[in-house]
Each structure stands twice: as structure tokens, then as C-alpha cells.
Structure 1
Amino acid sequence: MDIAFPFRIDARGRTADRDHPDHVRDMIEQLLFTTPGERVNRPDFGCGLLDLVFEPDSVELAAALQVSAEGALHRWLGDVIAVDSLQVTAQESTLRIELRYLLLATGQVRTDVIEGSVAR
């Protein structure tokens, strides 16, 4: 078991935990939603998703987000997951990120979808 994110205390009064696949999903979300420069001791951690969310949606935005997210996932989580595919689409005011990856510790293949609204 791994520590749950966000950190909290469970009903037993202990540190809440998550199973490994859910913990990895939490790490992916942390990485995608952390702005570089936000972490004091790791100023290059993150991918800048939040900076791009407020840009007008376009094909260029989706491409920039895809390159940024792929690079960050390989750099920061490359020892935990192997990215099989990453698709970023921008439709109207929604960014949709579909990530298919292999959990290296278990060999399990997962697909996660993360969506967020984009300013027009």
C-alpha cells in the first residue's frame, strides 16, 4: 500500500493509504497539475498544464500540451510507468487527456482520462 494523496488521516487514526494503481494515478495528476517553479526543491517538476488551460483552445494548444505532458511523464515517472499512448484533444472549451500506460511494478495496463475546461 502507498500513502493516499492528498494526505489525510483515515477512520482508524492512521495515515490513509491507496493501492498501487490508484497511487500511480495520483502521481500522474500531481505531475500534470503542478506548474514548473511551484515546488521549491524541484523547480523543474511539473508540465505546465495549468498555464496552458487558460489559453484559447486550439490544435496548437493540444499539441503543446501533449509534448509537455509526454516529456514530464517520461522524465519524472519513467521508472514507474511506460507510456503507451497519450492523446490530447481540444474540443470547444474542453481539454481531454487520454493516457494509456503500463505499470512497471505489476505489468498492468491502464487507461486514465483527465478532462478540464479551457477559457475561450
Structure 2
Amino acid sequence: MAKRHHVWFVFPKNSHTNEVVARFACQGTFGFESEALQDALCEDGLRRNLWITTEQDAWYLWRSRIDLKFEVFNRRGNGKIRNVTKPLFRKERRSPKKKNQKAKKPQKISLFLCR
């Protein structure tokens, strides 16, 4: 099976974050491409202005998000653009699911009463 190609996007939620992302795009030192998608239709039906980035740069922004507010999106191949902020960039990792172990049935104890 061939590896699928992902395209990563950043959606700034305020003007300060947009300015920071635009500076990264102009410098090019962090690998940001200088392209932006205008009115891109996302999987949830909303149109957004997105900056094209790489996965490493999205992680870099996420780690330095003290005063930045943004969401991370990606697209697999030619598919729809989907929001991956919560599933991929969460604070806590889920613990592996425990296997369902069959509980032992309690043995029936019959009490014989003497008369």
C-alpha cells in the first residue's frame, strides 16, 4: 500500500496569530510555504482562509502557542480538508484500551437447611 500524501494547513483565529504566521511565511526559515488558500471549503462546510504549512511547522506552532490561537487542518491526497486539532494535538494521550477479560461467574452455593 502506498503512503498517502498529506497537506497541512494553519487557520489563525485572531489578527495577532495571523500576523505571526504571515511573518513565518515571509521569512521562510521555518519551512512555511508562502501560499495561502482563500475561501477553502472544509469538511464541516465552512469556508476558511488557510496558510499552507508542513507537519513539523504545525507542531512547532503548537508547542509555542502561549498567546497564539489557531486550528490545524490537513488533507489526505485530494480529499476534503479536515480539522485535526483535537485528535492529534491534545494534551493527554489516551491509554491503550484494556482487553475485555471475561469475569468469572460466581459459583452458586446452595445451602441446605436442616429441619
- Compute the TM-score of the two structures, normalised by the length of structure 2: 0.28
- Compute the TM-score of the two structures, normalised by the length of structure 1: 0.27
Q: Which has the larger radius of gyration?
A: 2
